Homo-oligomer: A and B are copies of this chain.
Amino acid sequence: MKIPESIKKAIRSGNESELQEICNSLHPADAAAAFTSLNEEQQIQFAQFLNNDALSLITSFLPASESADLIASLEEKDRTVILESLPDDVVTDLIQETDEDQQKTYVELLSDEKKGAAETLLGYPEDSAGGRMTTAYATLQENMSVKEAIETLEETKEDAEILARIYVVDENKRILGKVRLRDLTFNAWSTPIKDIMDHEKLAIRAEEDQEEALKMMLKYNMLALPVIDDMDRLLGIITHDDALEIQEEESTEDLEMAAAIAGERDEEGYLKSPVLSHFKRRAVWVFFLAIVAILSGLVILNYESLLENVFILAVYMPMIVATGGNTGSQAATMVIRAMSLGEFTPSEFFRVVWKELRIGLALGALLGALIAIGSWILITTFINPDTLKSITGGHDLSDLVITVGIALTIQVSASTFIGAALPMMAQSCKLDPAVVASPAITTIVDVLGLLIYFGIASMMLAI
C-alpha cells in the first residue's frame, strides 16, 4: 500500500493511533508530502489526530500556503505551540500567506521574542533580502574567550540552525567577522575569540532584491549571508536553503516570462490554484499579443495584389515568419541567461551584438541557400509546369527561390540582432530583461519578417 493511501485509510477509519504510527515511521518531509495530497476535510482530521510535536515537524516541511491552512484549522492553544516551534522565517512566510485580518491575531499569539523577529521580517517586501532572512544566528563579542563563547552558545545548542553561523559583532551589532564552531572545539578554552575569528564582513542590505543575495552567495560560495540595515547593524541571515528557493523562484519566473505568462506563481501550486487564477496569468499577454498580431495581417493586406499574382509566395510565408521567431527567441534566451548569470553587462553591447549578427548571418545564409536550392530541385522535379505557372504568376522560378533565400537571410540576421539587443536595452533601462523575452520578440519579428519578405519580393519581381 502506498503511503498516502495508508494515511487516507487511517483517517477514514478514524484510527488515530495508526495514523500517528505511520507518521512517526516517516521522515517529516514525506509526511508533509502525504499531507499535501489530502483533500481539505482529510487535512483537518490529519491535524486533529496528531500531537503538536509531530505537527510542528511536519509543518516546517510544508509550503507556506499549506501550513497556513493547517494552522488555521487548529484551536488557539495548539496554534500558539506550533507557531512558537517554527523558525521565524517560516512563521513569517506563513503569516504572509494568511488573510490580512488574521495576520494580527497570529502575531499576537507569538512570544515577545518571536513577535519582534516576525514584525521586523514582515516590514520588508517578500522578495527582498530582509523579507527572506531568518534571525537564527548567534553572536559573540571580540573580547570573549573560547570558554565564555561556548557558555554563551550552550543555551541555544538545540536550535538546529544557529550554530552554523556565529558572527562576532561590536556593541552596535556591526559585523566584525565570523567564528566557526570548529575553531571553538579545537582551541584551548583560554584562547581569545579575537585570535581565531576571521574578518570577513560580506553582507547585504535588507532592502536589496533577493536575487542580489543569491548572486552574492553563489559568487562567494557562502553558506549563509548576513543581512544588515542602513546603519550596518546585523538583522538576520539568508541561508543556503533560501538560496535554493530564490534560485528556483527566479528561474521559474524567467521560464514563465519566456512563455508569456504574467504575474506571480501561485504558492498553492499548479493543481490547487483555480482555473480563474491560471486564466488571469495567461490572458494579459495572449490578448495583447493577439492584437499586435493583427498588424501582421495588415501587412499582408497591403501586399494583396502581390500575393494574388504570385501565390507561391504565400507558401513560404509561415516558414519565414516562424524561423524569425525561433532565431529571435534563441538569441534573447542566450543573452538573458548570460546576463542573469552575470557573464556580461549591457556595457558590452557591441561585443554581444557583433557576435549575434555573425551567428544570425551564418544561420540565415545557410538556411536560405538550403531552402532556395532544395525548393528549386523539388519543384522542377515534381510540379507540373502548368500548375507552377498558375502559382508563380509567370515569374521565373529562380527569381522566386532567390527571393525566399535572401528574405530568410535578412530576416534571420535581423531577428537575431533584435533578440539580442532588446533585452540588453531593457537591462540598461533598469527593466527586467525578461519582459522583452520570446513572446514580445516573436511578435515584433513576425511583422518585420513580412515587411522584409514582401519588400524583397516586390523589388526582385518588379511588382
Question: Which residues of A are in contact with B by a Cβ distance under 8 Å?
Answer: 27, 29, 33, 61, 150, 154, 157, 163-164, 181-182, 184-186, 200, 202, 217-221, 223, 240-241, 243-244, 247-248, 251-252, 254-256, 258-261, 269-271, 275, 278-279, 282-283, 285-287, 289-290, 293-294, 296-298, 300-301, 304, 307-308, 311-312, 314-319, 321-323, 325-327, 329-330, 332-335, 337-338, 341, 343-344, 348, 351-352, 355, 358-359, 362-363, 366-367, 370-371, 391, 412, 438-439, 442-443, 446, 450
Which residue of B has the minimal Cβ distance to A219? B29
Q: Flag if B359 contacts A275 (CB, 8 Å).
A: yes
> How many copies of the chain does the oligomer comprise?
2
Task: Enumerate 25 A-B pairs (CB-CB under 8 Å) in ascending A order.
Answer: A29-B221, A61-B219, A181-B182, A244-B244, A251-B254, A255-B255, A258-B258, A258-B333, A259-B329, A259-B332, A260-B330, A269-B338, A269-B341, A270-B343, A270-B352, A271-B348, A271-B352, A271-B355, A282-B327, A282-B330, A286-B330, A290-B367, A294-B315, A297-B318, A322-B446
The answer on a CB contact under 8 Å between B220 and A27 is: yes
Main secondary structure of the interface of A (DSSP, over half): helix
| Complex-state Cα separation, A308 to B335, whole angstroms | 42
**Partner of A301 from B270, B279, B315 at Cβ < 8 Å:** B315
A440 to B38, CA, bound (A): 35
Specify which chain B residues have a CB less than 8 angstroms from the CB of A223 in the assembled complex.
Answer: 240
Measured in the bound complex, the distance between the Cα atoms of B359 and A282 in whole Å is 9
What is the CB-to-nearest-CB distance from A344 to chain B, in angstroms, rounded to a whole number?
6
Identify the closest chain B residue to A374 (Cβ).
Answer: B291
**CB of A401, distance to nearest CB on chain B (Å):** 13
Cross-chain contact A298 with B279 (CB below 8 angstroms): no
Inter-chain contacts of A154 with B (CB < 8 A):
186
Q: Which residues of B contact A308 (CB under 8 A)?
A: 308, 311
Q: Chain B residues with Cβ under 8 A from A326's Cβ?
A: 260, 285-286, 289-290, 439
A34 to chain B, nearest CB (A): 12
> Given the complex of chains A and B, what is the CA–CA distance between A271 and B341 in angstroms?
12
Are B247 and A333 in touch, CB under 8 angstroms? no
A442 CB to nearest chain B CB (Å):
7
| Chain B residues whose CB sits within 8 angstroms of the CB of A240 once the complex forms | 223, 240, 243-244
